[in-house]
């Protein structure tokens, strides 16, 4: 795979960190705009909207001594948790619900829902069941299949798994997810 295709593939499969960064920036901007509003109202001799800037300053400077130790610990833990969440979000890579298909000349990406629909069709064919009797969900490294057999007709799970693995290999899905199947104990009336 050429270098530029690898970058495009990576960009299509992973999600950016922009939404979280934009949300944090907007909160900081709103805080600054509020502070600017209060300062402007004070400079114009108007009544404060919520509290005057010197009130906020005094409240903030005397805050640690005015709170109970349990409240201080709770605020500290909340701040540490928020910081940890933002740090982890910044370090880990997000992922779109997509899989890549092997291709030498370009980049082929398929949504997991489309892949699940294709695998459900194959699972129904392999199990010999009708529409609505096969539910397939696709995750990054796992395909979960739930089958409801037709009453009186047994399903061979190994045959269905083999068929789905063949479908994944035929379509050159990367990375190749593992197939897990669950057959309902009670059958349904055939359709």
Judge whether residue 107 has pLDDT over 80: no
pTM of the model: 0.60
pLDDT of residue 191: 57
Q: Is the pLDDT of residue 81 over 90?
A: yes
d(CA 89, CA 92): 6
Q: What is the pLDDT of residue 27?
A: 92
Going by pLDDT thresholds of 50, 70 and 90, the confidence category of residue 111 is confident
The whole-number pLDDT of residue 144 equals 93
Average pLDDT over residues 15-32: 84
Higher pLDDT: 51 or 119? It is 119
3-state SS, the chain, equals: CCHHHHHHHHHHHCCCCHHHHHHHHHHHHHHHHHHHHHHHHHHCCCCCCCCCHHHHHHHHHCHHHHCCHHHHHHHHHHHHHHHHHHHHHHHCCCCCCEEEECCCCCCEEEEHHHHHHHHHHHHHHHHCCCCCCEEEEECCCEEEEEECCECCCCCCHHHHHHHHHHHHHHCCEECCCEEEEEECCCCECCC
Domain segments of the chain as ranges: 3-91, 98-183
Average the pLDDT over 60-76 and give the result: 82
In the predicted structure, residue 49 carries a pLDDT above the cut 70: yes
Q: Are 137 and 174 in contact (CB under 8 A)?
A: no
Q: With respect to CATH, is domain 98-183 assigned 3.30.980?
A: no
Question: Which of 15, 136, 17, 156 shows the shortest CA–CA distance to 85?
Answer: 17
How much is the pLDDT for 1?
45
Checking if the pLDDT of 80 tops 90, the result is: yes
Mean per-residue pLDDT for 113-130?
90
> pLDDT at residue 179 above 70?
yes
Higher pLDDT, 69 or 97: 69
């Amino acid at each position: 795979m050429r270098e530029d295709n690898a970058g495009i593939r990576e960009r299509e499969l992973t999600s950016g960190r922009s939404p979280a960064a934009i949300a944090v920036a907007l909160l900081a901007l709103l805080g600054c705009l509020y502070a600017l509003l209060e300062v402007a109202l004070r400079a114009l001799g108007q009544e404060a909207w919520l509290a005057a800037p010197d009130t906020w300053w005094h409240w903030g400077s005397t805050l640690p001594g005015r709170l109970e130790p349990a409240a201080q610990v709770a605020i500290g833990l909340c701040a540490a948790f928020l910081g940890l969440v933002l740090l982890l979000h910044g370090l880990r890579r997000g992922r779109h619900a997509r899989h890549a298909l092997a291709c030498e000349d370009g980049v082929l990406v398929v949504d997991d829902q489309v892949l699940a629909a294709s695998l459900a069709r194959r699972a129904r064919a392999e199990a010999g069941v009708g529409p609505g009797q096969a539910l397939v969900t696709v995750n990054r490294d796992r395909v979960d299949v739930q089958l409801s057999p037709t009453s009186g007709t047994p399903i061979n799970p190994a045959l269905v798994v083999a068929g789905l693995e063949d479908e994944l290999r035929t379509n050159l899905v990367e990375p190749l997810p593992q197939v897990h199947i669950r057959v309902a104990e009670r059958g349904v009336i055939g359709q």
